[in-house]
């Protein structure tokens, strides 16, 4: 659905140094995938989306979206994707129905009234269909903008901060809707600052700051940066158990914390039963066992710290 090769955008400013917004971006996003694009403000995420939706042209490199090449088939790309910008522009004096009808006609949607009603009902806005959009809350406007992006039934959606500034209830509704779209087989390119949201929704994530720093599934990034750690909760700790656990092949480290043993290992599925069996046979009271799961926020911050340290070096 999306493929880029060394995609680059450099903004040239008179009497000032050039500003490299996106540098040598090479990635592929498969059909049906939810891909999270994470990075700080000013990292070039929105610039990337604008290039991939043919709103601005790249300085160099190449990109293909839905089989169309950016810079050659721009009109086809714009027709084949849906886009939600961080600050969606809506006609505030017009009703929700009229707002959507305008865009449905621009996209040559068949059965405009039917499509408008379908998405207004789906997003819980049908009862306010005739009210001017200027009277809508921010959450309602965001939902209307999502409906606008979906009117022409695109298979590929670009969502730029879809829950930014929303109250928890509205944000939860939008996340549920994104999940539903994913289950329908839509491909979603998601730019977000909400790391918990990305962790829940995304199949893979790319951590980006002008350049692509890391790309993988959230789980693989956890393993890469932190390894896998299992916490054995015991009634009490006998020091000899620590040495016994360290003797297992595949155990990297054992750290006692209060009445817990935090064990770094490479294969918990195989080692956990063996360690539990050894502990019980040695007289330990094993209360419960759980894997220590690092948040995507920890992964993101650790990756950015390492990148900054490499840059300073």
The tally of CA atoms less than 13 A away on the side-chain side of residue 30 is 6
Residue 311 is predicted with a pLDDT of 66
Query: Do the bridges between strand 81-84 and strand 156-160 make them parallel or antiparallel, or are there none, so unpaired?
Result: parallel
Residue 172 is predicted with a pLDDT of 84
Examine the pLDDT at 99 and tell me if it is beyond 70: yes
Spatial neighbors of 214 by CB under 8 A, at least 6 apart, are 206, 207, 221, 303
pLDDT for 173-212, tens place per residue? Answer: 888 888 888 898 999 999 987 788 888 899 999 999 899 9
Residue 169 is predicted with a pLDDT of 81
Rounded distance between C-alpha atoms, residue 62 and residue 22, angstroms: 12
Place of tokens 């209307």: 144
Q: What is the CATH number of domain 2-216?
A: 3.40.50.300
What is the phi-psi region of residue 32: left when phi exceeds 0, alpha when psi lies from -120 to 50, beta otherwise? left
Mean pLDDT in residue range 224-229: 76
> Cβ(177)–Cβ(184) under 8 Å?
no
Q: What is the CA radius of gyration of the chain?
A: 24
The tally of CA atoms less than 13 A away on the side-chain side of residue 182 is 20
Q: What architecture is domain 225-292?
A: 2-Layer Sandwich (3.30)
Residue 312 is predicted with a pLDDT of 62
Instruction: Establish whether domains 2-216 and 225-292 are of one fold.
Output: no
Percent of the chain with pLDDT strictly greater than 90: 64
Residue 221 is predicted with a pLDDT of 82
DSSP count for the chain of H helices, then E strands: 11, 14
**All structural domains of the chain with their residue ranges:** 2-216, 225-292
> Cβ(268)–Cβ(228) under 8 Å?
yes
Q: For residue 58, give the 3-state DSSP assignment.
A: coil
Q: Whole-angstrom distance between the N-terminal and C-terminal Cα of the chain?
A: 37
pLDDT for 44-80, tens place per residue? Answer: 999 999 999 999 999 999 999 999 999 999 999 999 9
Residue 195 is predicted with a pLDDT of 80
Q: Greatest CA separation found in the chain?
A: 75
Residue 234 is predicted with a pLDDT of 95
Percent of the chain with pLDDT strictly greater than 70: 98
Place of tokens 């799961």: 293
pLDDT for 109-151, tens place per residue? Answer: 999 999 999 999 988 899 999 999 999 988 888 889 999 999 9
Query: 3-state SS string over 124-176?
Result: CCHHHCCCEHHHCCHHHHHHHHHHHHHCCCCCEEEEECCCCCCCHHHHHHHHH
| Structure tokens that stand for 250 in this block | 């595949």
Mean pLDDT in residue range 26-48: 92
Examine the pLDDT at 313 and tell me if it is beyond 60: no
Mean pLDDT in residue range 290-299: 78
Instruction: Tell me the pLDDT band of 281, cut-offs 50, 70 and 90.
Output: very high
Place of tokens 């996106």: 22
Point out the least confidently predicted range of 23-32, 96-105, 222-231: 222-231
Instruction: Tell me the pLDDT band of 284, cut-offs 50, 70 and 90.
Output: very high
Instruction: Tell me the pLDDT band of 254, cut-offs 50, 70 and 90.
Output: very high
pLDDT for 207-226, tens place per residue? Answer: 998 999 999 998 888 777 66
Q: For residue 284, give the 3-state DSSP assignment.
A: coil
pLDDT for 147-177, tens place per residue? Answer: 999 999 999 999 988 887 778 887 888 888 8
| Structure tokens that stand for 199 in this block | 């962790």
* Of 214, 253, 236, 270, residue with least CA distance to 38: 214
Examine the pLDDT at 310 and tell me if it is beyond 90: no
Q: What is the mean pLDDT of the chain?
A: 90
């Amino acid at each position: 659905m999306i493929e880029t090769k060394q995609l680059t955008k450099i903004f040239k400013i008179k009497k000032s140094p050039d500003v490299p917004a996106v540098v040598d971006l090479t990635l592929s996003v498969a059909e049906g995938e939810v891909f999270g694009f994470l990075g700080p403000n000013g990292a070039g995420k929105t610039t990337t989306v604008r290039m991939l939706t043919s709103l601005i042209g790249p300085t160099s490199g190449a990109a293909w979206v839905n089989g169309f090449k950016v810079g050659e088939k721009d009109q086809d790309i714009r027709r084949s994707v849906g886009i939600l910008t961080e600050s969606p522009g809506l006609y505030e004096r017009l009703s929700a129905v009229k707002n959507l009808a305008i865009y449905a006609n621009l996209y040559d949607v068949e059965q405009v009234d039917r499509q408008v009603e379908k998405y207004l009902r789906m997003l819980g806005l049908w009862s306010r269909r005739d009210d001017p959009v200027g009277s809508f809350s921010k959450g309602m406007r965001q939902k209307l903008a999502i409906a606008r992006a979906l009117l022409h039934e695109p298979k590929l959606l670009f969502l730029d901060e879809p829950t930014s500034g929303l109250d928890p209830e509205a944000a939860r509704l939008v996340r549920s809707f994104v999940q539903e779209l994913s289950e329908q087989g839509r491909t979603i390119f998601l730019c977000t600052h909400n790391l918990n949201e990305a962790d829940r929704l995304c199949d893979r994530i790319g951590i980006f700051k002008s350049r692509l720093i890391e790309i993988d599934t959230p789980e693989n990034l956890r393993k890469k940066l932190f390894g896998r750690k299992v916490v054995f909760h015991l009634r009490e700790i006998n020091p000899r158990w620590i040495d016994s656990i360290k003797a297992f092949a595949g155990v990297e480290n054992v750290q006692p914390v209060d009445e817990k043993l935090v064990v770094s290992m490479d294969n918990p599925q195989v080692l956990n039963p063996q360690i539990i069996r050894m502990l019980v046979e040695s007289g330990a009271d094993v209360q419960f066992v759980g894997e220590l799961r690092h948040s995507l926020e920890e992964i993101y911050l650790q990756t950015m710290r390492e990148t900054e340290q490499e840059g300073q070096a």
